[in-house]
Structure 1
Amino acid sequence: MEFLTAAAAAMGSTLISNPLEVIKVRLQLQGELKERGRYKIHYRGFFHALYTIAKTDGLSALQKGLVPSLWHQVAEERRWNVKANGEKSLPKTALVAATLGGITAYTGSPFYLVKIQLQSQSSESIAVGTQHQIRGTLHGLTSIYNQHGITGLWRGCVGSLPRRCIGSATQLTSFTICKDLLANNDYFKIEKGYLNSLIASLIGGVIVTVVMNPLDVISNRLYNQGVDSSGRGLLYSSYMDCVKKMYKTEGIAGLYKGVIPMYLRTGPQTVLVLVFWDILKDMGERYRESRNI
């Protein structure tokens, strides 16, 4: 039941935050391996990208690649990240988050591969990155399998693992630290609740964005690149090859493409998940009480 509740909460929050993901992916792929000023700019920033995608491909394009995530909620509910005395342990929090992030990255890699390819897909006039002609999740999965076998479905996973492990550990620990600092200080104490979570997410989101955005760009580039008949990447041969080529052509700024939607998505989505999570849990408890379960 907890997994179903967590999944439903994640789906509710992702439905709202997914347009930020689409915009982020487009900005991250724009100008791929090209020096500044040497490529056509389709998206001049966050709001322009939002307007351009909606105008050209329709509002539905902002919900491409909609997928849920539930590791955070399960960890909190199961109390895997607390000490024997009930206090939260930062090392345990980081370890749990990194482990669950790694498991999620590996098991969900085929879906993330298709998600990125769907989110990058657009009309020719505003296309960025490699365009994969897939019609949906099932069509994408079957097409990749038919062309490159079962191993093809895990192409790009090498980029997703550090993104998920490091990013998840940073996200959960930074939010935990911020929540505790806000609740336990002598200057501006904010008891734990929705307001505490909101402010903690906005502060912690800065830390997460700084750490995670470069990992996110690398991961998405590896997932979206085209491949030859043998399944080898046409742009990047490995994780470090991607890092070197990006730094050489796009510089540090290339690793922080899409930073605004990354920040806007990171904090608010966590709060939304927690809100949906609490609402659904309360509904479930009231239902069980009414039925004497």
Structure 2
Amino acid sequence: MDFLMSGLAACGACLFTNPLEVVKTRMQLQGELQAPGSYQRHYRNVFHAFITIGKVDGLAALQKGLAPALLYQFLMNGIRLGTYGLIEAGGYLRTAEGGLSPARSAAAGALAGVMGAYLGSPIYMVKTHLQAQAASEIAVGHQYKHQIFPPQSWKVALAAAMVSGIAVVLAMTPFDVASTRLYNQPTDAQGKGLMYRGILDALLQTARTEGIFGMYKGIGASYFRLGPHTILSLFFWDQLRTLYYTYTK
């Protein structure tokens, strides 16, 4: 659970910070190995870069490389924070007297960080290539022409559903947990719930008793259900609509 929660938390943040990552990548590649003043500055500062990218490449370009960025954040932070959490839970950070050892904590943090960075590095490279892609008039650095999925591929829809599903499950899982418990609680002879008075009471009781993680129980199952469910719903809807119009003409 430590790995999952750490990875999903980082993905949630990445959804909002990826445009800044795109701007950062392009500004760092601008003027690569060229003397100051000898090249055209397409991006004068952060705000100018946002405006320029949005105007020339389109607003969607500010989220370039989002798929590998999310995968990178999930993998790197899941491994980094999850590994450190497991080491801490195992009691390896404490001395024989029970006190916290700064040296062990630093070593564990370094080990977890190296593991996360090493395993996430190939994905970070793909992310950088995609974020650097730009229209010729504002292109900086080497322009790789990667294409993750062919146009009109079902994989595009599936990937989009899985990416958007991160934000959905982070926002909705606490309410899903509360509704599941409300439906499943025992009732008296009049059908009144014996454990919760309503959804707010269910949320408050869960948070007080089980902590914040208790409100996110089943988040992994919710996430991996949501993406396929969305794309399959759209697929069957499209097929049924096609059959309907075919046989009713």
TM-score by length of 1: 0.45
Q: Distance in 2 between matches of 1:82 and 1:120?
A: 41
Question: What aligned pairs does 1:197-208 form with structure 2 within 5 A after superposition?
Answer: none
User: 1:60 — aligned with what?
Assistant: 60
* Higher relative contact order, chain-length normalized (CA < 8 Å, sep 6+): 1
Which residue of structure 2 aligns with residue 127 of structure 1? 139
Question: How does 1:181-220 map onto structure 2 within 5 Å?
Answer: none
Matched, 1:73 2:5: no
Q: Which residue of 1 aligns with 2:162?
A: none
Alpha-carbon shift at residue 30 of structure 1 (Å): 0.4
- Deviation of 1:280 after TM superposition, in Å, equals 6.2
Q: Distance in 1 between matches of 2:12 and 2:39?
A: 37
2:215 counterpart residue number: 283
One-letter code aligned to 1:132: Y
The 5 Å alignment of 1:47-126 reads: 47-65=47-65, 66-67=69-70, 68=73, 69-70=76-77, 71-75=79-83, 77-78=85-86, 80=88, 82-84=93-95, 88-126=100-138
**Match of 1:228?**
none
**What CA distance in whole angstroms lies between the structure 2 residues aligned with 1:35 and 1:29?**
13
Query: Secondary structure of the residue that 1:14 maps to in structure 2?
Result: helix
The Cα of 1:106 is off from its aligned counterpart by: 2.4
Task: Give how far 1:117 is off.
Answer: 0.4
Matching of residue 2 in structure 1 with residue 30 in structure 2: no
**Aligned amino acid, residue 48 of structure 2:** H
SS of alignment partner, residue 108 of structure 1: helix
Kept in 2, the 8 Å contact 1:22–1:63? The answer is yes
Cα shift at 1:120 = 0.8
Alpha carbons of 1:280 and 1:6: their partners in 2 closer, same or farther (altered >3 Å)? farther
1:260 match: none
Residue ranges of structure 2 left out of the alignment (5+ in a row): 151-209, 220-249
Give the 3 Å change call, closer, same or farther, for CA 11–37 of structure 1 in structure 2: same
Are the structure 2 counterparts of residues 77 and 125 from structure 1 closer, same or farther at C-alpha, using a change threshold of 3 Å? Answer: same
**Residue of structure 2 in register with 1:220 after alignment:** none
The Cα shift of 1:97 comes to: 2.6
Structure 1: tracts of 5 or more residues without a match = 140-277, 288-293
Conserved in 2, the CA contact under 8 Å of 1:5 and 1:280? no
Going from structure 1 to structure 2, the CA distance change for 1:96 and 1:76 (only over 3 Å counts) comes to closer
| 2:24 corresponds to 1:24 | yes
CA RMSD of aligned residues (A): 2.9
Name the aligned partner's letter for residue 25 of structure 2. V
Given that 2:80 and 2:116 are in contact with CA atoms closer than 8 Å, whether structure 1 keeps it comes out as no
| Partner Cα distance (1:40, 1:279) in 2 | 54
Quote the offset at 1:5 in angstroms.
1.8
| Residues 16-67 of structure 1, C-alpha deviations (whole Å, 9 max, x = no match) | 1111211111111000000100010000011111111122212222222222
Give the Cα–Cα distance (whole angstroms) in 2 for the partners of residues 104 and 72 of structure 1.
5
Kept in 1: contact 2:27–2:43 (CA 8 A): yes
Query: How many residue pairs are counted as aligned between the two chains?
Result: 148
Q: CA deviation at 1:96?
A: 2.2
Q: Which amino acid aligns with 2:82?
A: V
Distance 2:211 2:58 in 1: 32
On the 8 A contact 1:29/1:128 being kept in 2, the answer is yes
Task: Give the number of the structure whose alpha-carbon radius of gyration is greater.
Answer: 2
| Percent of aligned pairs with the same amino acid | 41
User: Secondary structure at the residue paired with 2:141?
Assistant: coil
**Alpha-carbon deviations, 1:76-134, whole Å to 9, x = none?**
53353732466554333332232222222322222111111011111111100000011
Aligned equivalent of 1:150 = none
